Amino acid sequence: MRIAVTIFLTDETITPVRLARELEQRGFAGLYLPEHTHIPVERTTPYPAGGELPREYGRTLDPFVALGQAAAVTERLGVATGITLAAQHDPIDLAKQIATLDHLSGGRFTLGLGFGWNVEEAADHGVQWRTRRELVRDRMGLMRALWTEEPTAYEGEFGSVRASFAYPKPVQKPRGPVVGPRTLIGGAAGPRLFAHLCEYADGWLPIGGRGLSESLPALRSAWADAGRDPAALQVVPYAVLPTPGKLAHFAELGIEETVVQLPPAGEAEVLRALDAYQPFVDAR
């Protein structure tokens, strides 16, 4: 099983360059970075994990800039978002950022997509909360048009683009309905999420990986009903605090990659965490 990591990189933590070099040297598979553009002070949306919102949420680095640094100082390390809040981006600009990072990294980029949890943050971007999932779907359709080899127009509910010359293109070739880099969607299990996965993604980023024994059969059934190749479905448990038993259970379910959580800390603490995770990497 491949072991990747996720971390809230901030202006107070280990740097992307130092971390990326260390990860590649140690044999980790990838680096996934979250995204928050800002955290409004006057916020009524509760923190999903409960309690006070941790300090790092308001200090996150831009993931694309940080991942660009990580890609530039490595050769094999995967670079990924976990997750990109696509509803909060102009899709034409985002398509260019994604394609550029994928091109410059030699096809190492994974687009982790999410719908968000912070109503106030999204509202400052002009996002209507009740339609954010449909907005993300629409923006993915627009970006797919820009990533297609031939100039392709797109007319959607929330946006449109003329048939255009738009380079570079993502490295990975289209597979089924998916155009662009490897694409995974985060979110809670359910028919609505699984429909999105089957329509425009390569797989699922379930946070923590709980309940997979119960949810995977439903996802695999929906995947097959959509005409997708069963062997192509990717499920990547995300932000996991690993134990040997947990990773063995994931392996029994056919999972080939897990993303483990690093502390949002300075170099010394992060390296200690990597030391603790190293046996899982070495056991692959």
Tell me if 99 sits within 8 A of 169, measured CB to CB.
yes
Q: What are the tens digits of pLDDT across the range 28-86?
A: 999 999 999 999 999 999 999 999 999 999 999 999 999 999 999 999 999 999 999 99
Among the listed residues 199, 97, 184, 110, the one whose alpha carbon sits nearest the alpha carbon of residue 147: 97
Q: Name the pLDDT band for 284 (thresholds 50, 70, 90).
A: confident
Among the listed residues 218, 225, 217, 254, the one whose alpha carbon sits nearest the alpha carbon of residue 237: 254
Specify the long-range contacts of residues 240-243, CB closer than 8 Å, at least 24 apart.
240/208, 240/209, 242/3, 242/277, 242/280
